[in-house]
Amino acid sequence: MGIVAVVGRPNVGKSTFFNRLIKRREAIVDAVSGVTRDRHYGKSDWNGKEFTLIDTGGYVVGSDDVFEAEIDKQVELAIDEADVIVFVVDVTSGITPMDNEVAKLLRKHDKPVVLAVNKVDSNKARLDAVEFYNLGLGEIYCISAINGSGTGELLDQVVEAL
Ligand code: GDP
Ligand code: MG
């Protein structure tokens, strides 16, 4: 079965996206300590294809203060274990240095990446979203993890790459 990892800096909406998609949570106790401790696993499916979804959210619990090295570790881990990576960014903040850092890592590998521009809740936000083409990761998928808009098109792309 395919593995899809959701990566990105804190507060972009990774967990909101994850919780919207999963149908069954998996309690997997990670053997690796530290940064991987708070990874959440769940099962989902789309277009008849089942996959495991990983929310890589728990960098530093209860803190927005994330060290670049920890982000790097999570992304490297995702690159190792996932078949497809969903890289989530936030249209309301635009491209941040940490987004650029993640994009740089992802561009170094061949792993399929689907770029989700989240919090696109308005037409104005849709216009702002074009900025994210500058991350050099190809097509952008505008979504609203809160109301679900755009997630169908994104998932079409995800399962095609599985
Ligand atoms: P994470 O740290 O990347 O896992 O982000 P969360 O899923 O915890 O979301 C961070 C904040 O963004 C929360 O307050 C969410 O309610 C909010 N959020 C998530 N998705 C959306 C969205 O599509 N639109 C808006 N406006 N807010 C969102
Ligand atoms: Mg989270």
Is residue 148 pLDDT above 70, yes or no?
yes
- Residue 40 Cβ contacting ligand 1 at under 6 Å: no
ipTM (interface pTM): 0.99
Asked whether 153 and 141 are in contact (CB, 8 A), the reply is: yes
Pocket test for ligand 1, best of 16, 86, 89 (most atoms within 8 A of CB): 16
Cα 16 to ligand 2 centre (Å): 7
Supply the pLDDT for residue 53: 94
- Residue 56 Cβ contacting ligand 1 at under 6 Å: no
The H or E element that residue 19 is part of is helix 14-21
Q: In what order do the strands lie in the sheet with 24-26?
A: 24-26, 40-46, 49-55, 2-7, 84-90, 113-118, 140-142
Asked whether 45 and 65 are in contact (CB, 8 A), the reply is: no
Q: Which tens digit of pLDDT belongs to each residue from 53-107?
A: 998 865 444 445 556 777 788 888 889 999 999 999 999 999 999 999 999 999 9
Give nearest CA residue, ligand 1 atom 17. Answer: 13
- Residue 150 Cβ contacting ligand 1 at under 6 Å: no
CATH class of the domain comprising 2-161: alpha beta
Supply the pLDDT for residue 45: 95
pLDDT, mean of residues 4-28: 86
Q: Is 141 annotated as a binding residue?
A: no
Pocket test for ligand 1, best of 11, 39, 124 (most atoms within 8 A of CB): 11
Can you tell me which atom of ligand 1 is nearest the CA of 12?
3
